[in-house]
């Protein structure tokens, strides 16, 4: 499991640093090796059957692929299927380590450091790289670059204000260094994006059918909020233990809710009217315990976001009202 940092409550004054920030919020990449790794995971897990964490209904194909190339590619997919049967990247420390290590390799895939990944995985990636570059990478890379370009103006215009609001809400600062974002064709994860820590690293899909237009921007900041969520996680966990109440996913629901509310506040009036936050648009609050989480978010957490409750008042209020 991913180990989170120790948390501490940051004074509000320490969060209000945005006018003086000179480093970018994000460091965007279209990295050949990370894309190849994510595609192989996606293809391998497709063989086990449909799953909500998979975007494609059918495996990648190429009409002009020869038998030898097909055999090489299928061998790589089979290797991944055997090595990584889990469909939860965040529950597999080895997959987290591989994804982070590949992100440190050249974006163009010119070479793969022999020590970057275990030798057997490195050998498979090098063989599969020839096939991926030949048939799919040019189109995937172009789509990645288009996705990145689509975000840059909003990040420049709204990003600092949204980051400031969210870090103030969640009582932790944004990291001093830009958060690395690897944009990929496929990301085999629920929501088609995931975030890991130490170092902070977002891996996000450009082809998620639910992650388009403003949703792209909101999801980007939702994922970023995982890097400054320790305070709310710990506060809710402590309150739930004290009340003997189960609320394991409430912190995550609060992250979704916060990014949606704060983004809407920053949009021009015309866009506000047509904007539906990602969690509402995609039925996130209709599943399991999240149905009741929505109730306390709309009542108590919203009151906090509106300045009617303090953070220390909102946390116990949510647990009191959790039914």
Domain ranges in the chain?
26-228, 230-321
The string of pLDDT tens digits covering residues 162-196 is: 999 999 999 999 999 999 999 999 998 888 999 99
Distance CA 131, CA 239 (A): 52
Distance CA 170, CA 311 (A): 9
Query: Residue 164 half-sphere exposure, CB side, CA atoms within 13 Å?
Result: 15
Contact 224, 25 (CB under 8 A): yes
Alpha helices in 191-310 (DSSP H): 214-225, 230-243, 250-266, 269-274, 278-281, 290-296, 302-305
On the 0-12 / 13-18 / 19+ scale of CB atoms within 10 A, 201 is buried
- Report helix, strand or coil for 182: strand
On the 0-12 / 13-18 / 19+ scale of CB atoms within 10 A, 237 is middle
Say how far residue 43 (Cα) sits from the centre of its chain: 20
The string of pLDDT tens digits covering residues 7-61 is: 334 444 344 445 567 899 999 999 999 999 999 999 999 988 877 778 767 889 9
Distance CA 46, CA 230 (A): 34
Distance CA 94, CA 254 (A): 28
Question: What pLDDT, on a 0 to 100 scale, did the predictor assign at position 3?
Answer: 33
Question: What pLDDT, on a 0 to 100 scale, did the predictor assign at position 59?
Answer: 87
Distance CA 281, CA 276 (A): 6
Per-residue burial over 109-141, b if 16 or more Cβ lie within 10 Å, else e, is beebeeebbeeebbebbbebbebbeebbbeebb
E strands present in the chain? 26-29, 179-184, 193-196, 201-205
Look at the chain and count its residues.
Answer: 323
- Report helix, strand or coil for 108: coil
* pLDDT of 202 over the 80 cut: yes
Question: What pLDDT, on a 0 to 100 scale, did the predictor assign at position 54?
Answer: 83
The string of pLDDT tens digits covering residues 214-260 is: 999 999 999 999 999 999 999 999 999 999 999 999 999 999 999 99
Distance CA 56, CA 208 (A): 10
On the 0-12 / 13-18 / 19+ scale of CB atoms within 10 A, 301 is buried
Structure tokens given for 27: 């460091």
Work out the average pLDDT over 90-101.
94
The string of pLDDT tens digits covering residues 271-290 is: 999 999 999 999 999 999 99
Question: What pLDDT, on a 0 to 100 scale, did the predictor assign at position 8?
Answer: 37
* Cβ neighbours around 20 below 10 Å, total: 6
Question: What pLDDT, on a 0 to 100 scale, did the predictor assign at position 184?
Answer: 97
* Confidence label for 302 from pLDDT (cuts 50, 70 and 90): very high
In sequence order, which residues have a C-beta less than 8 Å from that of residue 279 and are 6 or more positions away? 253, 256, 257, 260, 285
Q: In this structure, are strands 201-205 and 179-184 parallel, antiparallel, or unpaired?
A: parallel
* pLDDT of 1 over the 60 cut: no
The mean predicted confidence, pLDDT, of the chain is 91
Distance CA 60, CA 197 (A): 30
* pLDDT of 118 over the 80 cut: yes
């Amino acid at each position: 499991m991913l180990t989170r940092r120790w948390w501490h409550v940051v004074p509000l004054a320490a969060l209000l640093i945005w006018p003086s920030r000179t480093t970018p919020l994000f460091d965007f990449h279209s990295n050949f090796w990370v894309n190849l790794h994510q595609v192989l995971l996606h293809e391998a897990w497709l063989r086990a059957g449909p799953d909500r964490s998979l975007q494609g209904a059918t495996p990648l194909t190429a009409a002009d692929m020869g038998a030898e190339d097909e055999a090489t590619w299928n061998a790589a997919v089979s290797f991944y299927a055997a090595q990584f049967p889990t469909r939860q990247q965040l529950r597999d420390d080895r997959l987290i380590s591989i994804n982070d290590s590949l992100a440190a390799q050249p974006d163009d895939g010119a070479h793969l450091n022999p020590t970057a990944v275990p030798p057997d995985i490195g050998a498979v990636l090098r063989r599969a790289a020839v096939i991926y570059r030949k048939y799919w990478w040019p189109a995937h890379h172009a789509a990645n670059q288009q996705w990145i370009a689509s975000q840059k103006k909003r990040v420049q215009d709204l990003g600092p204000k949204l980051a400031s609001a969210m870090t103030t809400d969640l009582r932790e600062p944004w990291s001093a260094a830009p958060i690395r974002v690897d944009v990929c064709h496929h990301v085999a994860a629920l929501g088609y994006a995931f975030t890991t820590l130490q170092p902070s690293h977002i891996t996000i899909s450009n082809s998620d059918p639910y992650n388009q237009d403003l949703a792209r921007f909101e999801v980007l900041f939702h994922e970023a909020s995982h890097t400054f969520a320790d305070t709310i996680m710990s506060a809710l966990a402590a309150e739930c233990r004290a009340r003997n109440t189960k609320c394991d996913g409430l912190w995550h629901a609060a992250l979704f809710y916060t990014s949606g509310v704060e983004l809407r506040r920053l949009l021009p009036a015309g866009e506000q009217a047509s904007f539906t936050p990602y969690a509402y648009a995609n039925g996130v609050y209709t599943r399991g315990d999240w149905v009741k989480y929505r109730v306390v978010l709309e009542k108590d957490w919203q009151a906090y976001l509106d300045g009617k409750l303090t953070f220390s008042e909102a946390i116990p209020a949510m647990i009191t009202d959790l039914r």
